Structure 1
Amino acid sequence: MEKLRTAVDTRKTGVCVDRLRKTRDQKVIIISCPTKKDIEKISGQLKENKGLKIRETARKLPLVVIRDVRKENTDEDIVKSIKKQNKYATADLDWSSIEVKVKFRRRAKNDLECHPVPEVTPELWRRLVDAGYVYVGLQRRPVLNQSPLVQCSNA
């Protein structure tokens, strides 16, 4: 922390820092800034200091859960269905910039079904959640936002 404080002088540069914290192992310091310009200024100052390493974290894509999809649908089938069968929600999307990948599958009560959880780009996420359903194969299934937070279910 002390190295960081000496390397970055926010009073001189006028850089705003939203949050500054250490991770659990006390080795990594996370800095978040409100603007891209502030991040670039801090990165420039830290690059001049030889003892510090910089790595920008990648943002995680939002998740949606598609309820009660037949297990016989593969991950590729689900992605194809989202792209091809759901024109009502994806009509004017530029698919070259859209990412869709099934991250994992949750178990369903019925052994023949599962709840796939695709990772999608924010624009597609908004459209799917607003629509409330998607067509997968011969099914019309509800779509819900999937929070990445883990919640305890012990009563």
Structure 2
Amino acid sequence: MEAIQNKMRSRKEIKVEAAKAANPAHHERVMAYHKDADIIENVLAQNKHLVKDINLKEVTIRVRYRKRARNQLQCHPVLELSPSVHKRFLEAGKLYIDLQKVAVYDQSPLVQCAKCLGFGHTKAVCGEKTATCSYCADKTHEWEKCPRRKQNEEPKCKNCWENGIKTEANHEAFSNKCKVRQKWDEIARSRIAYC
């Protein structure tokens, strides 16, 4: 690896540097009318007791994106946090945001495609022509129209099935029980600075 880096450094037009670990993230459930700036302001103002002994220069909080919620009045903002703040918030378990006391959930950095059910990309950039059902792994229909799901039959994970773990494939493709998903999640988390 070092030989490759030295060779790359000899070329002036190429810049070589070590990959930096990304900040961890978590999400919580808040009211959808909150703007991103309001969420950050409320988190800092109403939870000072959790970060009082951390240097303010080390505190990073930003809304990375928002996940939709079933309830249209709610949203699930995913906050990117500095490692020390992330640890404190998870240990506390709950945060005050506006008039709410909300639970804090660790957010996996793993990205899973809703079209092909693979990992590392989203459906917006997926190269597959047809979608795969996340319940039964069939390419002729999507989850909403799955006859096996409607008849309460056992699910079949596409990723476990394709990776030869057929005896443990009785879960949906997005399930946390999925051994393949767990492996990819571990890989994705290895690039995060958890302190």
TM tier, smaller: 0.5 to 0.7
Give unpaired runs (5+ residues) of structure 1.
9-41
**Distance in 2 between residues matched to 1:76 and 1:89, nearest whole Å:** 19
1:19-30 aligned within 5 A? none
State the AA in 1 paired with 2:22. Answer: K
Query: How many Å apart are 1:49 and its aligned residue?
Result: 2.9
| Structure 2 SS opposite 1:140 | strand
1:41-80 aligned within 5 A? 45-46=6-7, 49-50=10-11, 53=14, 54-67=16-29, 69-80=30-41
**Distance in 2 between residues matched to 1:51 and 1:91, nearest whole Å:** 45
Contact residue 46 and residue 52 of structure 1 kept, 8 A: no
Q: Measured at CA, do residues 95 and 51 of structure 1 come closer, stay the same or move farther in structure 2, by a change above 3 Å?
A: closer
Contact residue 63 and residue 118 of structure 1 kept, 8 A: yes
Q: Give the aligned CA root-mean-square deviation in angstroms.
A: 2.4
Correspondence 1:100 to 2:80: no
1:62-141 aligned within 5 A? 62-67=24-29, 69-141=30-102
Q: Which has the higher strand share?
A: 1
Give unpaired runs (5+ residues) of structure 2.
118-132, 136-195
Q: Measured at CA, do residues 142 and 56 of structure 1 come closer, stay the same or move farther in structure 2, by a change above 3 Å?
A: same
Query: How many Å apart are 1:88 and its aligned residue?
Result: 2.8
Q: How many residues align?
A: 115
Contact residue 98 and residue 121 of structure 1 kept, 8 A: yes
Q: Measured at CA, do residues 72 and 51 of structure 1 come closer, stay the same or move farther in structure 2, by a change above 3 Å?
A: closer
Cα-to-partner distance string for 1:49-95 (whole Å, 9 max, x where unaligned): 3388313323211110112x001111111111111101232121211
Percent identical among aligned pairs is: 31
**Distance in 2 between residues matched to 1:93 and 1:131, nearest whole Å:** 15
Cα-to-partner distance string for 1:99-143 (whole Å, 9 max, x where unaligned): 110000111111000011010000000001111111111111100
Q: In the alignment, which residue of structure 2 is the partner of 1:150? A: 111
Q: Measured at CA, do residues 81 and 48 of structure 1 come closer, stay the same or move farther in structure 2, by a change above 3 Å?
A: closer
| Structure 2 SS opposite 1:92 | coil
Q: What is the TM-score of this pair, normalised by structure 2?
A: 0.53
**Distance in 1 between residues matched to 2:134 and 2:83, nearest whole Å:** 32
More contact order relative to length (CA 8 Å, sep ≥ 6): 1
